[in-house]
Amino acid sequence: MAKLSKRQKAYNTGLTEKPVSIEAAVKEIKTRATAKFDETIEIAMNLNIDPRKADQALRGVCNLPNGTGKTMRVAVFARGAKAEEARNAGADIVGAEDLAEVIQGGKIEFDRCIATPDMMAIVGRLGKVLGPRGLMPNPKLGTVTTDVAAAVVAAKGGQVQFRAEKAGIVHAGVGKASFTEDKLVENVRAFVEAITRAKPSGVKGTYVKKVSLSSTMGPSVKIELSALSAG
Question: What would the pLDDT profile of 187-201 be if each residue is shown by its tens digit?
Answer: 999 999 999 999 998
Strand residues in the chain grouped as ranges (E): 40-47, 59-63, 74-77, 93-95, 112-115, 159-163, 169-176, 208-215, 220-222
Q: How confident is the model at residue 230 (pLDDT cuts 50, 70, 90)?
A: low
Half-sphere exposure at residue 216, Cβ-oriented, CA atoms within 13 angstroms: 12
What ranges in 63-180 are assigned the alpha helix state H? 80-89, 97-104, 120-123, 127-130, 148-156
Mean pLDDT of the chain: 90
Show me where the domains of the chain are located. 17-68+159-227, 74-156
pTM over 0.85: no
Q: What is the pLDDT of residue 227?
A: 78
Pairing verdict, β 40-47 and 208-215:
antiparallel
CA-nearest of 46, 38, 32, 17 to 222 is 17
Name which CATH class applies to 74-156: alpha beta
CATH of region 17-68+159-227, choose from 3.30.160.70, 3.40.50.2300, 3.30.460.80, 3.30.190.20: 3.30.190.20
Identify the CA nearest to 71 among candidates 42, 98, 100, 109: 109
What is the pLDDT averaged over residues 31-46?
93
In this structure, the strands spanning 74-77 and 93-95 are parallel
pLDDT at 1 over 50: no
